């Protein structure tokens, strides 16, 4: 139960820039935040890109088809243009929101359009972490004036906050991504994935053909781990075109130890993380938080992760997990062997992780987000409306449509 005093119910509009056709971390965060807020008695509407035939929850409005765009070392599915802007206007007008919550408002998609169009209490959450960002440098002139409309800013980590400060100016309160900790803590292990002393299981979860997720780093460690623990099974869950053929080409017969599970449901993800001895996060960069680390920690897996700043902070500087040198397969192999050889080490980091994860539970995170909402709406009686100056942006988009650039 929340320790917050009673609060008047709010009408909250949340905008997600990334498509629910291929959901990822930001989409899951938006979904879970919306549901956590509704559980508190607030009215929530989410606007997000999605095809007409994509199943979405009843509180979500699909804003239409998105197109794949390279962004932050990944491929994001975004939507933009005058048709999309018209949908944003219609959604805002119908919603009469007390507060508008935009995620990644400088990404050229729905959130940027909503920031141009809206006027009133606006909260923005920044997820991206990058030391150098050409995309932010390009986007900044487009949104510089609009950024002044934001009443309150949230960053999901210190890394995301640093990116915001260095590239866009201003500051933000850090509120981490949320996890339903008890859902993972109570997940029942699955015999298919449960390890033994002779055959421990090591899991990886992420887009397997996205280089920064680090699957090649893990595959490069397989042979050395098998040399001392020949029964080890490496369970790889996630979508992508990379698969057994590439692993066989790299590892030869050692590829038999690698099992590609494909995409898994939320329920199977929790069971997988509750079953394995070790969860490996070998990402090489571009991570501002590391939500899957918190999920694995909640489920009771010992976490081994690259020593990215964001991961180190989630793992409490290495007390709630074990860190290895980023991008170094040999260092990962040595670390995995050490962790598999030392049951007491695994018990110690898992016990510490169970304490650490409570700060990321949605009960805590939702309280923090609602506090920001209260600051944004304080002293304002009118709902979020349309900024009259946004009509200039509409004319610009009409010119883009005339050049065939609308999607």
- Cα-Cα-Cα-Cα torsion 375, 381, 382, 384, nearest 10 degrees, comes to 20
Do strands 233-237 and 302-306 pair parallel, antiparallel, or not at all (unpaired)? unpaired
Per-residue model confidence (pLDDT) at position 140? 56
Q: Measuring CA to CA, which residue among 338, 104, 321 is closest to residue 228?
A: 338
Find the range with the poorest average confidence among 4-18, 164-178, 329-343, 360-374: 4-18
- What average pLDDT does range 9-31 have in this prediction? 90
Binning pLDDT at 50, 70 and 90, where does residue 382 land?
Answer: confident
Cβ density class 129-144: b for 16+ within 10 Å, e for less? bbeebebbeebeeebe
Category of 280 on φ-ψ map: left (φ > 0), alpha (ψ -120 to 50) or beta: beta
Element (H, E) at 145: helix 134-147
Average model confidence (pLDDT) across the chain: 88
Instruction: Look at residue 51 in the predicted model and tell me its pLDDT.
Output: 84
Burial class (CB within 10 angstroms; exposed 0-12, middle 13-18, buried 19+) of 199: middle
With H, G, I as helix, E, B as strand and everything else as coil, classify residue 337: helix
Q: Which residue has the higher pLDDT, 67 or 284?
A: 284
Q: Render pLDDT for 191-247 as a digit per residue (tens, 0 to 9).
A: 999 999 999 999 999 988 888 899 999 999 999 999 999 999 999 999 887 778 888
Positive or negative, the CA dihedral 61, 2, 288, 270 is negative
126 closest CA partner among 96, 156, 146, 91:
156
Statement: residue 402 has pLDDT above 50: no
Backbone angles phi, psi at 259, to 5 degrees: -115, 120
Q: How far apart are CA 299 and CA 301, in angstroms?
A: 6
Q: Which helix (H) or strand (E) holds 203?
A: strand 201-205
pTM metric for this prediction:
0.84
Residue pair 269/295 in contact (Cβ under 8 Å)? The answer is yes
Q: What is the rounded distance in angstroms from the CA atom of residue 337 to the CA atom of residue 219?
A: 14
Among 3.40.50.300, 3.40.50.2000, 3.90.1170.50, 1.10.287.990, what is the CATH number of 11-178+362-402?
3.40.50.2000
Looking at residue 387, its pLDDT comes to: 83
In the predicted model, what is the mean pLDDT of residues 69-84?
65
Nearest CA among 252, 223, 259, 209 for reference residue 334: 223
CATH number of the domain at 181-359, out of 3.40.640.10, 3.40.50.300, 3.30.300.180, 3.40.50.2000? Answer: 3.40.50.2000
Local confidence band at 74 (pLDDT 50, 70, 90 cut-offs): low
80/64 Cα distance (integer angstroms): 10
pLDDT at 316 over 70: yes
Residue 79 is encoded by which pair of tokens? 């939507």
- Choose from 12-21, 137-146, 339-348 the range with maximum mean pLDDT: 339-348
Residue 208's pLDDT is what? 87
The b/e string for 75-111 (b: 16+ C-beta within 10 A; e otherwise) is ebbbbbbbebbebbbebbeebebbbbbbbbbbbbbbb
The CA distance from 17 to 112, in Å, is 8
Residue 1 has what pLDDT? 42
pLDDT score recorded for residue 392 = 57
Q: What pLDDT is recorded for position 227?
A: 97
In Å, how far from its chain's centre is CA 393? 30
Least confident of 28-37, 41-50, 67-76, 163-172: 67-76
**Biggest distance spanned by C-alpha atoms of the chain:** 68
Number of other residues whose CB lies within 10 A of the CB of residue 212: 16
Per-domain residue ranges of the chain? 11-178+362-402, 181-359
Quote the pLDDT of residue 69: 60
The continuous run of DSSP H or E covering 105 comes out as none
Average pLDDT (92-115) is 93
Checking if the pLDDT of 186 tops 60, the result is yes
Position 50 scores a pLDDT of 87
């Amino acid at each position: 139960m929340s320790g917050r005093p009673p609060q008047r119910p709010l009408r909250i509009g949340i905008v997600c820039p990334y498509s629910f056709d291929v959901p990822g971390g930001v989409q899951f965060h938006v979904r879970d935040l919306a549901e956590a807020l509704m559980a508190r008695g607030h009215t929530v509407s989410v606007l997000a890109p999605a095809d007409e035939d994509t199943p979405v929850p009843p509180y979500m409005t699909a804003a239409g088809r998105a197109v794949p765009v390279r962004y932050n070392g990944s491929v994001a599915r975004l939507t933009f243009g005058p048709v999309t802007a018209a949908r944003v206007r219609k959604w805002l007008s119908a919603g009469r929101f007390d507060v508008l919550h935009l995620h990644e408002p400088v990404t050229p998609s729905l959130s940027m359009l909503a920031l141009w169009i809206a006027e009133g209490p606006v909260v923005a959450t920044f997820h991206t972490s990058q030391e150098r960002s050409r995309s932010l440098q390009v986007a900044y002139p487009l949104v510089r004036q609009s950024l002044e409309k934001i009443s309150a800013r949230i960053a999901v980590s210190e890394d995301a906050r640093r990116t915001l400060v260095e590239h866009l100016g201003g500051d933000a309160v850090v509120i981490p991504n949320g996890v339903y900790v008890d859902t993972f803590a109570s997940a029942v292990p699955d015999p298919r994935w449960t390890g033994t002393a002779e055959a421990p299981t090591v899991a990886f979860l992420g887009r397997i053909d996205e280089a920064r997720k680090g699957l090649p780093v893990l595959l490069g460690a397989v042979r050395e781990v098998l040399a001392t623990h020949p029964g080890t099974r490496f369970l790889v869950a996630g979508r992508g075109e990379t698969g057994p053929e590439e692993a066989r080409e790299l590892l030869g017969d050692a590829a038999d130890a690698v099992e590609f599970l494909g995409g898994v449901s939320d329920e199977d993800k929790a069971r997988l993380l509750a079953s394995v001895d070790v969860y490996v996060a070998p990402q090489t960069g571009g991570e501002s938080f590391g939500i899957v680390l918190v999920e694995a920690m909640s489920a009771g897996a010992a976490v081994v992760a690259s020593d990215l700043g964001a991961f180190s902070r989630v793992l409490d500087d290495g007390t709630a997990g074990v860190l290895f040198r980023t991008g170094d397969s040999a260092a990962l192999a040595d670390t995995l062997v050490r962790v598999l050889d030392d049951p007491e080490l695994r018990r110690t980091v898992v016990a510490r992780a169970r304490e650490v994860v409570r700060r990321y539970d949605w009960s805590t995170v939702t309280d923090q987000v609602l506090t920001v909402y209260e600051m944004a709406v304080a002293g304002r009686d009118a709902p979020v409306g349309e900024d009259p100056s946004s009509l200039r942006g509409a004319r610009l988009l009409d010119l883009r449509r005339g050049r065939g650039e609308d999607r």
